[in-house]
């Protein structure tokens, strides 16, 4: 290459360097579960586009990972292989599992500005109960929920019941359920009074019954469970009796995924499910429906539920900073309001409910505020170390009780023994 050619080539390199952006683009991967029906992917894709427009030096790659159960397995498998997601929405109850695996960052270790601290203090305390441990914040509430009652007002009218009065006690639940259960001339049930789903998340639905009977299923540190206390056994027997003795819901296992469809088709007059189904019900119920807090025995209450945003420890400070910025973006008051309106999940911050858009929404659709109001009596969802194994012990017991293959006491005694064995290393 001659002197002139070398000079021209050098000038081209200088020009190229000057034209390059000051900071190279950072790409982060975002694992997100699809667990509730609706155009969720379109909403998430819209948020990602909005974020990238506001942050042109950050690219977000959404990875839709299936159910919550699939998502935690995929995230942990990827992390063990050295390819962890940078940010992920996973169950709030996965917190201890992720901490024990040393896979996630504590927010207060990376979010240290005054604005960051104000942000971390902006969420409902009931949601933070499943987001904090050992003096640190490990997850930020995103798509969070409680369990509520949905009921068919038309069915209530036909049964001679007040369509504006859902069951408020266990006794009312049974009495109304019996009036709402309909059979044909052959004795076949055409409409059940109630469906409480018992597949997918049986421990979660059961925890509501336990809380209503005055029992807590676990301690705050996730090291001990109460699966066989008298009040817990009584709650399990009550659930089994709803189908086996009172005959107001199907016996055996009721499918989580098809319960809303049963409700839409008039196969059940009342269903218990996540408030995350609120928008789905509003769009698809062909009748006037109501939403109410869960009925009480000795007290009201529901476990919280749903997913938090977690930051994975990738060792890449640029990616961690970008992931923190994205987590903050997803959980601003305006986006919390938008997400709640779009999906039915509870807007996770009190100030989100003060936005003009949310106030207009609640005025037009008061049912949206039911789950928020229930937060006053809500408790942390069952969460422990080795959470999947510990909850499986309870799920197995509940399935045996609901299918009639075991009585409540021996099944729950066995579940307690199994949980104690699993949790023993964390109690020393």
| % of residues, the chain, pLDDT over 90 | 88
Q: Would you put residue 200 in left (φ > 0), alpha (ψ -120 to 50) or beta?
A: left
Tokens (6 digits) for 78: 């990827």
pLDDT tens digits along 172-190: 999 999 999 999 999 999 9
Q: How confident is the model at residue 16 (pLDDT cuts 50, 70, 90)?
A: very low
**In the prediction, which pLDDT does 220 show?**
87
The rounded distance, in Å, linking the Cα atoms of 380 and 304 is 6
* Dihedral pair phi/psi, residue 115, rounded to 5°: -65, -40
**In the prediction, which pLDDT does 310 show?**
98
The rounded distance, in Å, linking the Cα atoms of 69 and 35 is 10
In this structure, the strands spanning 87-91 and 26-32 are parallel
The rounded distance, in Å, linking the Cα atoms of 46 and 50 is 6
Give yes or no for residue 301 having a pLDDT over 60.
Answer: yes
Give yes or no for residue 9 having a pLDDT over 50.
Answer: no
Q: How confident is the model at residue 24 (pLDDT cuts 50, 70, 90)?
A: low
The rounded distance, in Å, linking the Cα atoms of 415 and 237 is 15
pLDDT tens digits along 317-370: 999 999 999 999 999 999 999 999 998 899 999 999 999 999 999 999 999 999
The rounded distance, in Å, linking the Cα atoms of 45 and 63 is 10
The model's pTM is: 0.88
**In the prediction, which pLDDT does 22 show?**
39
CATH class of segment(s) 146-304+380-426 = alpha beta
Q: SS3 of 223, please?
A: coil
The answer regarding whether domain 22-144+305-372 maps to CATH 3.40.190.10 reads yes
The rounded distance, in Å, linking the Cα atoms of 309 and 55 is 19
Q: What distances in angstroms separate CA 350 from CA 127, 340, 347, one per listed residue?
A: 12, 12, 8
Cite the residue boundaries of each domain of the chain with CATH code 3.40.190.10: 22-144+305-372, 146-304+380-426
Q: Look up residue 27 and give its DSSP letter.
A: E
Beta strands in 100-254 (DSSP E): 132-133, 136-137, 140-152, 182-183, 189-191
The total of other beta-carbon atoms located within 10 Å of residue 3's CB is: 7
**In the prediction, which pLDDT does 380 show?**
95
| % of residues, the chain, pLDDT over 70 | 93
Tokens (6 digits) for 51: 């974020």
In this structure, the strands spanning 132-133 and 304-311 are unpaired
Give yes or no for residue 94 having a pLDDT over 90.
Answer: yes
Q: By C-alpha distance, which of 42, 299, 70, 361 is closest to 168?
A: 299
**In the prediction, which pLDDT does 14 show?**
38
Read off the pLDDT of each residue in 145-166 and give the average, rounded to a whole number: 98
Give yes or no for residue 162 having a pLDDT over 90.
Answer: yes
Read off the pLDDT of each residue in 128-143 and give the average, rounded to a whole number: 95
The shares of helix, strand and coil residues in the chain, as percent rounded to the nearest 5, are: 50, 15, 35
Q: What distances in angstroms separate CA 260 from CA 149, 159, 275, 406, one per listed residue?
A: 12, 21, 12, 28
Q: Look up residue 102 and give its DSSP letter.
A: T
Q: Look up residue 320 and give its DSSP letter.
A: H
Read off the pLDDT of each residue in 224-253 and give the average, rounded to a whole number: 98
- Tell me what the pLDDT averaged over the chain comes to: 93
Give yes or no for residue 21 having a pLDDT over 70.
Answer: no
pLDDT tens digits along 395-405: 999 999 999 99
């Amino acid at each position: 290459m001659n002197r002139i050619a070398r000079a021209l080539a050098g000038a081209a390199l200088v020009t190229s360097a000057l034209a390059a952006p000051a900071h190279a683009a950072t790409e982060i991967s975002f694992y997100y579960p699809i667990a509730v029906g609706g155009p969720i992917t379109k909403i998430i894709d819209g948020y990602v586009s909005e974020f990238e427009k506001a942050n042109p030096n950050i690219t977000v790659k959404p990875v839709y990972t299936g159910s919550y159960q699939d998502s935690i397995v995929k995230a942990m498998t990827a992390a063990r292989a050295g390819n962890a997601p940078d940010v992920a929405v996973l169950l709030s109850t996965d917190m201890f599992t992720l901490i024990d695996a040393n896979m996630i960052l504590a927010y207060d270790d990376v979010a240290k500005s005054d604005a960051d601290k104000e942000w971390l203090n902006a969420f409902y305390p009931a949601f933070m109960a499943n987001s904090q441990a050992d003096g640190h914040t490990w997850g930020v509430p995103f798509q969070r929920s409680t369990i509520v009652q949905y009921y068919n007002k038309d069915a209530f009218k036909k049964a001679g019941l007040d369509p504006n009065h859902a069951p408020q006690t266990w006794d009312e639940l049974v009495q109304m359920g019996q009036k709402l259960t309909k059979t044909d001339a052959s004795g076949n049930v055409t409409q059940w009074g109630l469906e409480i789903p018992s597949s997918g998340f049986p421990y979660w639905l059961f925890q509501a019954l336990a809380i209503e009977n005055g029992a807590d299923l676990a301690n705050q540190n996730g090291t001990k469970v109460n699966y066989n206390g008298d009040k817990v056994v009584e709650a399990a027997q009550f659930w089994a009796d709803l189908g086996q003795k009172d005959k107001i819901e199907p016996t055996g296992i009721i499918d989580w995924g098809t319960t809303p469809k049963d409700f839409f088709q008039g196969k059940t007059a009342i269903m218990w499910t996540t408030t995350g189904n609120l928008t789905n019900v509003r769009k698809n119920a062909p009748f006037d429906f109501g939403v109410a807090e869960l009925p009480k025995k000795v007290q009201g209450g529901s476990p919280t539920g749903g997913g938090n945003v977690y930051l994975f420890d990738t060792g890449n400070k640029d990616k961690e900073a970008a992931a923190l910025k994205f987590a903050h973006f997803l959980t601003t008051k305006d986006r919390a309001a938008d997400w709640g309106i779009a999906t039915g999940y509870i807007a996770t911050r009190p100030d989100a409910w003060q936005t003009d858009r949310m106030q207009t929404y609640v005025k037009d659709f008061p049912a949206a505020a039911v789950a928020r109001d229930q937060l006053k009596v809500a408790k942390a969802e069952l969460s422990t170390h080795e959470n999947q194994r510990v909850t499986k012990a309870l799920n197995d017991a509940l399935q045996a009780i609901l299918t009639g293959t075991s009585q409540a006491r021996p099944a729950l005694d066995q579940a307690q023994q199994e949980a104690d064995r699993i949790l023993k290393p964390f109690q020393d």
